[in-house]
């Protein structure tokens, strides 16, 4: 008899990863058809007739086991631009996410992490679309939610914003739940996402913010320059979601020089503002646009700086970028693809030298600015 091994590469490798929908569908489908199927914690294809591997995040690591003859690998790490659907019967399978119950420690050990993991497994998990254009699973989702078994919905689409009418559909389904005993009072289903929702302007951002979301389980990627007023409102009114934003700071720039001359200083000031607000977001950039190593390293340095905690009651200029570099010897952060990005002291020195030679006025802010505040009228200014 054949045996089926299923391996969720991301969940089994890294902490705080939402379980994989396709792995759960595969297990449930084969189990329902009386096949021997196992969700395994190890990348060990040898004992199995077929070994399914899902890998969504490009961490730059691709072990040789992925390419053995009995392995069937797939996921966003291999096809970053589009989703490749499973066979129709498997796609239509309602997954049993509780098969991950016994691997709860892979998600995290702390009590808050365990509470969040239980919440994840108690949600309905679904893709709104398999072609990333048309919302093909609306009826299935409505049937699933009508059972009353689920406390929220987590969408696994690579980008919900690509799907026609996605925000309106999700909002409508979210509002179908009512309080027990109060049929006229709506208790919306909260929403989560495995992958960031892509937004390109403040109007799109505000539209998605209308949806009730699950804290720590919904992320948004903002492409372009966030207006200071929008950034301030986000920090004032929705600080939890602000911490779940990925910020593509090069989107909309025509070249690296355009970014350096017309945007980077504004981004630097926003980093100062975000640090004071205790908001740790992740800055992203387009690899095809940023080509100078010193510029790439400088953006990575800003991410390291953002990941450090703002300290209250320090003297003015005590928390500048220069002082951060002076006080630390190790610089690293984890990027969107779960890659650990590390910077050496020499790389940081080269980045400083690059801006000293190319834009001295900007270079001086590394030593003189450590705090920014919002000023009515839509400006961020040096607070000291």
* 209-255 residue pLDDT tens: 889 999 999 999 999 999 999 999 988 888 888 888 999 999 999 99
Q: Which of 247, 246, 244, 248 has its CA nearest to residue 218? A: 244
The label of the residue with tokens 């179908």 reads 176
Looking at the 3D structure of the chain, how many domains does it have? Answer: 1
pTM of the model as a whole = 0.93
The verdict on residue 295 lying in a domain is no
Buried b (16+ CB within 10 A) or exposed e, 60-82: eeeeebbeeeebebbbbbeeeee
Q: What's the token pair of residue 87?
A: 């066979």
* Domain with 74 in it: 4-91
The verdict on residue 144 lying in a domain is no
The verdict on residue 339 lying in a domain is no
Long-range contacts of range 136-139, CB-CB < 8 Å, 24 or more positions apart?
138/169, 138/173
The verdict on residue 35 lying in a domain is yes
The verdict on residue 277 lying in a domain is no
Give, in order, the Cα–Cα distances in Å from 320 to each of 78, 94, 348, 372.
40, 52, 14, 11
The verdict on residue 33 lying in a domain is yes
Q: What is the mean pLDDT of residues 189-217?
A: 94
pLDDT tens digits for range 128-174: 999 999 999 999 999 999 999 999 999 999 999 999 999 999 999 99
The verdict on residue 77 lying in a domain is yes
The verdict on residue 169 lying in a domain is no
Specify whether the CB–CB gap between 38 and 12 falls below 8 A: no
Mean of per-residue pLDDT scores for the chain: 93
Task: Compute the distance between CA of residue 259 and CA of residue 246 in angstroms, rounded to an integer.
Answer: 18
Phi, psi of 152 (to 5 degrees): -175, -175
């Amino acid at each position: 008899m054949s045996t089926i091994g299923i391996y969720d590469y991301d969940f089994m490798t890294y902490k705080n990863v939402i379980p994989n929908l396709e792995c759960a569908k595969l297990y449930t489908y084969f189990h329902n058809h009386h096949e021997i199927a196992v969700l395994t914690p190890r990348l060990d294809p040898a004992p199995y007739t077929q070994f399914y591997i899902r890998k969504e995040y490009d961490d730059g690591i691709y072990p040789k086991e992925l390419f053995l003859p009995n392995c069937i690998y797939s996921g966003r790490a291999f096809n970053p631009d589009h989703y490749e659907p499973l066979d129709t019967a498997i796609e239509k399978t309602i997954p049993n996410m509780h098969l991950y119950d016994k691997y709860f420690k892979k998600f995290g050990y702390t009590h808050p992490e365990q509470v969040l993991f239980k919440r994840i497994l108690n949600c309905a998990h679904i893709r709104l679309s398999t072609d990333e254009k048309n919302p093909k699973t609306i009826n299935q989702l409505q049937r699933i939610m009508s059972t009353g078994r689920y406390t929220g919905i987590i969408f696994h689409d690579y980008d919900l914003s690509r799907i026609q009418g996605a925000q309106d559909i999700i909002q409508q389904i979210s509002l179908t739940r009512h309080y027990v005993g109060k049929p006229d009072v709506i208790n919306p289903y909260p929403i989560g996402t495995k992958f960031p929702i892509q937004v390109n302007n403040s109007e799109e951002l505000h539209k998605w913010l209308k949806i009730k979301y699950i804290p720590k389980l919904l992320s948004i990627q903002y492409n372009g320059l966030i207006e200071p007023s929008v950034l301030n409102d986000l920090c004032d009114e929705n600080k939890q979601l602000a911490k779940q934003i990925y910020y593509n700071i090069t989107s909309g720039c025509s070249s690296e020089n355009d970014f350096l001359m017309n945007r980077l200083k504004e981004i630097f000031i926003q980093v100062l503002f975000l640090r004071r607000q205790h908001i740790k977001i992740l800055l992203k950039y387009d690899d095809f646009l940023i080509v100078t190593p010193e510029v790439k390293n400088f953006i990575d340095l800003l991410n390291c700086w953002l990941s450090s905690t703002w300290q209250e009651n320090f003297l003015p200029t005590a928390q500048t970028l220069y002082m951060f570099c002076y006080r630390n010897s190790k610089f690293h952060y984890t990027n969107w693809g779960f890659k650990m990005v590390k910077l050496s002291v020499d790389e940081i020195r080269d980045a400083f030298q690059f801006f000293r030679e190319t834009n001295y006025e900007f270079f001086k802010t590394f030593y003189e600015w450590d705090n920014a505040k919002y000023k009515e009228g839509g400006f961020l200014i040096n607070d000291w």
